[in-house]
A and B are shown apart, each in its own frame.
Chain A
């Protein structure tokens, strides 16, 4: 979950430190990491609670150890989101999108920046 992923190729870092910081901030603000982090936390808590639930809790839920199962499910969901966020960091995606945009604009000549009407 570090923003300073050493596996990231250096080409993804723009030269100015300003841009680098922006990309790092984008990674920290990546919604996939936020969702993943929250569900990992909830998953750990519920799994522990579920594993220690007594018979009263289990019989309330019609015999299902629901805290444990829900906790495990949340761990999986959280892990998937974190993995997705780390696999394709937002900062890198933004940089790639900008490069593509630049190439396309270059090919079509002067590209009018879309603005609101009026």
Chain B
């Protein structure tokens, strides 16, 4: 064991580290088991009875996004693109989270829908509902597969477990706790996961920064790597015609593609995220869910992207030809480099927690959409409530099994983050265009709801296939493609929506109460509840955006 090279990928875990991981699994399964006693109705199972406080749903909201691809992928991007990766957080997430909380939650929560597709059914018609339910179900199992596969890869790399064993163990644990306790169990575990992940990453960052000689030491060291000075700026070097920033995109692609379409599409219409806010106990808590999530999101890059940059300096040969030293392994390699047994067990637990968070968020959204948006309205209507809870449990099992197969699709992609971004550009970007227009334009017709979505989805698909397989289009990088694919989906969706609306009949205004801007349903009881000033959504949201902008300027 003493002959291992400095950059060996296999973690030197011992019994202590495995015990730490084991305790965590026991707690996770215990939460699922206890949550089972609370599940009495389908609303309990799919939306936690709409009873959770904002701090829990807020942390679950951010944790649902802290999957394997986030930790490993953004760590890899930190090593590959440097400081420009911060754009994913301050431009690419926080404004959209604030928009969801301030502008969109009143419609989602106020109309009492149980899922994002269900909103389409009320606002437009059943055909757009069916289309979106099916594409969403497909997207979630594909994404859950990405997380499962990423998990198996890392287990193989770090612990030497065979890929299939890793997939089955992780899938089995997620399956157990979601099948038992439904969304409550998924959300409770996500909050726990949030703290475990952070507890793994903060010490890693502290040790790395200490070793590099603090912030100034690290910037000096990054300047000497292949990233150089350009790797130390978020937006500098993204001018049109003169892109020197390692991210390889112009500021237009970054701000419009990533900051607007991709990010707003992901955060405001991805049900795996919105579901957390819908399970909050009241509208105020629902609004505060993404806003409370925005604050951790502002600082998470300091413990994810920064370790990636430390790894670029510390791990010699990172990103080179050796497959073990791929950028995706930046954070695990750094953990092995610095953390002694004990902390190493916490780090391993944090990684496992992060993978399971990603799988669980998608599986719990999948079972809700399949049960409440496909089975209940169209396949088995008018059954007693208990039938749907049972159906939800079976759908969970089915979803996890399908995810094991989609994990094999994911295994054919070398960069998982880019595969994910492409999925988002196809599934989320058109949905966002339809939502934003439908919420603000009363005249938009049900037919436009369907055809806009279909056209936008096709546009993103054509951009993706034309770039990836047919080589018809060329872009600066795979990431650049996903920015522009998302932009194309948005624009095409919007044009088709307006065109179809011009020739079809809109819904009577009386049927749009609570669904469109200016017609929100006011809850008479809500005004009576006295709230503290720090619970004001506008204040929370404004502060988060201001901090994000300030940080962008500081790191410009």
Chain A interface residues toward B at CB < 8 A:
25, 28-29, 31, 34-35, 38-39, 41-42, 45-46, 49-50, 53, 56-58, 60-64, 66-67, 69-71, 73-74, 77, 100, 104-105, 107-108, 111, 114-118
Question: Which residues of the other chain, A, contact B202 by a CB distance below 8 angstroms?
Answer: 70, 73
Closest 5 CB pairs of A and B: A62-B211, A57-B340, A49-B342, A67-B342, A70-B203
Is B192's CB under 8 angstroms from A31's CB?
Answer: yes
Question: Which residues of the other chain, B, contact A115 by a CB distance below 8 angstroms?
Answer: 112
Is B346's CB under 8 angstroms from A66's CB?
Answer: no
A-B contact pairs, 14 of them (CB 8 A): A31-B56, A45-B342, A49-B342, A50-B342, A53-B342, A60-B338, A60-B339, A61-B207, A61-B343, A62-B207, A64-B207, A66-B340, A70-B202, A116-B114
Question: Which residues of the other chain, B, contact A41 by a CB distance below 8 angstroms?
Answer: 23
Question: Which residues of the other chain, A, contact B383 by a CB distance below 8 angstroms?
Answer: none
Question: Which residues of the other chain, B, contact A114 by a CB distance below 8 angstroms?
Answer: 112
Among A53, A114, A117, chain B packs the most CB atoms within 10 A around the CB of A117
Is B112's CB under 8 angstroms from A28's CB?
Answer: no
How long is the Cα–Cα vector from A114 to B109 in the complex, in angstroms?
A: 11
Q: Is the interface of A mostly helix, strand, loop or mixed?
A: helix
Question: Which residues of the other chain, A, contact B112 by a CB distance below 8 angstroms?
Answer: 114-117
Of B20, B191, B342, which contacts A31 at CB under 8 A? B191
Which residue of chain B has its CB nearest to the CB of A29? B34
Q: A61-B338, A70-B346, A116-B114 are in contact. Are A42 and B20 (CB under 8 A)?
A: yes
How long is the Cα–Cα vector from A116 to B111 in the complex, in angstroms?
A: 9
How long is the Cα–Cα vector from A62 to B208 in the complex, in angstroms?
A: 8
Question: Which residues of the other chain, B, contact A49 by a CB distance below 8 angstroms?
Answer: 16, 341-342
Q: A64-B206, A64-B207 are in contact. Are A35 and B339 (CB under 8 A)?
A: no
Question: Which residues of the other chain, B, contact A77 by a CB distance below 8 angstroms?
Answer: 195, 199
- For residue B31, CB closer than 8 A to chain A, the reply is yes
Is B20's CB under 8 angstroms from A74's CB?
Answer: no
- For residue B389, CB closer than 8 A to chain A, the reply is no
How long is the Cα–Cα vector from A50 to B111 in the complex, in angstroms?
A: 53
Which residue of chain B has its CB nearest to the CB of A62? B211
Is B43's CB under 8 angstroms from A61's CB?
Answer: no
Of B38, B339, B346, which contacts A42 at CB under 8 A? B346
Question: Which residues of the other chain, A, contact B206 by a CB distance below 8 angstroms?
Answer: 64, 66, 69
Shortest Cβ distance from residue A61 to the other chain B in the assembled complex, whole angstroms: 5
- For residue B226, CB closer than 8 A to chain A, the reply is no
Shortest Cβ distance from residue B5 to the other chain A in the assembled complex, whole angstroms: 14
Is B340's CB under 8 angstroms from A62's CB?
Answer: no
- For residue B35, CB closer than 8 A to chain A, the reply is yes
Is B203's CB under 8 angstroms from A66's CB?
Answer: yes
Question: Which residues of the other chain, A, contact B340 by a CB distance below 8 angstroms?
Answer: 53, 56-58, 60-61, 66-67
Contact pattern, B 522-556, Cβ under 8 Å of A = 1, otherwise 0: 00110011000000000000000000000000000
Question: Which residues of the other chain, A, contact B207 by a CB distance below 8 angstroms?
Answer: 61-62, 64, 66
| Interface residues in B319-344 (C-beta closer than 8 Å to A) | 338-343
* Known A57-B341, A71-B342, A118-B377; further 10 A-B contacts with Cβ < 8 A: A35-B195, A39-B195, A42-B346, A45-B342, A57-B340, A60-B338, A60-B339, A61-B207, A74-B199, A117-B111
